[in-house]
Amino acid sequence: MRHLIEITDLSRSEIAALLDLADDMRARPRDYGDTQKGRILATLFFEPSTRTRLSFESAMLTMGGSVLGFSSADASSTSKGESLQDTIRTVACYSDIIAMRHPKEGAPLAAVQKADVPVINAGDGGHNHPTQTLTDLMTIRREKGRLDSLTIGLCGDLKFGRTVHSLIQAMSRYPSVRFVLISPPELRLPDYLIQNLDDAGIPWESHERMEDVIGSLDILYMTRVQRERFFNEADYVRLKDTYVLTPEKMRLAGPDLRVMHPLPRVNEISPQVDDDPRAIYFDQVRNGRYVRMALITKLLEASV
């Protein structure tokens, strides 16, 4: 049984094969129109979501499969006190594959112990978000033609942003990648990830001002300050508008910069940037559907 709990569960060659399949699915979606006929995807979302849940559902529906699930913990028996393991074990009786999001770090890993269908982590607290990372890798590869030899700026909430954590783990495996970490001191990348970078000898630098470094980047990955992870509302209010990407700041960047964002955005990218051809976050959204089609296909193939 193959699950996807963190991005390093997939080898580099498996990722390459997945992205090849996703590119083909994006080019010819109708050719895959009944490849999952009769199969059921369950989406168990104990935490809110728009893109991740709907892209999973759209992915399965595009392949002729069906979907069931819930989009908040209140709507499930969790509200009666059922354990996560029991919920997963139950849902595995009704479905062929499960995508789950949970506010607790490590919850998906605990859930797979009793699951006899593939389980996909669709985000666990401030920890990991491997399917957003597959979306990001697909987007970077389509735009830049490669995943190596890139300078990647990550800006905003690097402490709680799970998409950042998974993306760094993924990109760390490609040669000649450099990370430029842009955050206020309070929202710096967790120590364990810094330690991993140092242990692997991967170059990184830390900055507080985006203007100082935007000119040197191939990718600028913007993130939202994660209000729901703060213990203290006053800290959130103080930090939430630290970074706002505007057309003026985009003037400092090179012509080949690509601006990404997992979305949802709050204030961190001005809508005036949306029409800049270097802003690719809505194309990134589109890729999320195809890469999840490819992932569902590969996990189901590996689990028969």
By CB under 6 A, name the binding residues for ligand NCD.
51-52, 123, 129, 132, 162-163, 224, 262-263
Nearer to ligand NCD, 92 or 100 (CB): 100
Q: Cα angle vertex 280, ends 277, 285, to 5°?
A: 150
Query: CB of residue 30 vs ligand NCD: minimum separation in angstroms?
Result: 26
Catalytic position from the list 101, 165, 289, 292: 101
Contact 88, 110 (CB under 8 A): no
Backbone angles phi, psi at 260, to 5 degrees: -120, 160
CA 266 to chain centre: 17
Nearer to ligand NCD, 263 or 299 (CB): 263
Strand partners, 41: 67, 97
CA 188 to chain centre: 19
Does 52 participate in catalysis according to the annotation? yes
Query: CB of residue 132 vs ligand NCD: minimum separation in angstroms?
Result: 5
Does 101 participate in catalysis according to the annotation? yes
Q: Cα angle vertex 108, ends 102, 109, to 5°?
A: 150
Contact 134, 165 (CB under 8 A): no
**Scanning the structure block, which residue is given the tokens 């709680």?**
160
DSSP character at residue 80: G
Does 51 participate in catalysis according to the annotation? yes
Nearer to ligand NCD, 69 or 123 (CB): 123
Does 80 participate in catalysis according to the annotation? yes
Nearer to ligand NCD, 39 or 129 (CB): 129
Strand partners, 119: 98
Nearer to ligand NCD, 87 or 223 (CB): 223
Query: CB of residue 277 vs ligand NCD: minimum separation in angstroms?
Result: 22
Residue from 5, 96, 22, 99 nearest 62 by CA:
22
Nearer to ligand NCD, 95 or 132 (CB): 132
Query: CB of residue 163 vs ligand NCD: minimum separation in angstroms?
Result: 5
Catalytic position from the list 2, 26, 51, 286: 51
Contact 119, 3 (CB under 8 A): yes
**CB-side neighbour CA atoms (13 Å) of 272:** 9
Query: CB of residue 28 vs ligand NCD: minimum separation in angstroms?
Result: 25
Query: CB of residue 227 vs ligand NCD: minimum separation in angstroms?
Result: 9
CA 86 to chain centre: 26
Catalytic residues, which ones? 51-52, 80, 101, 129
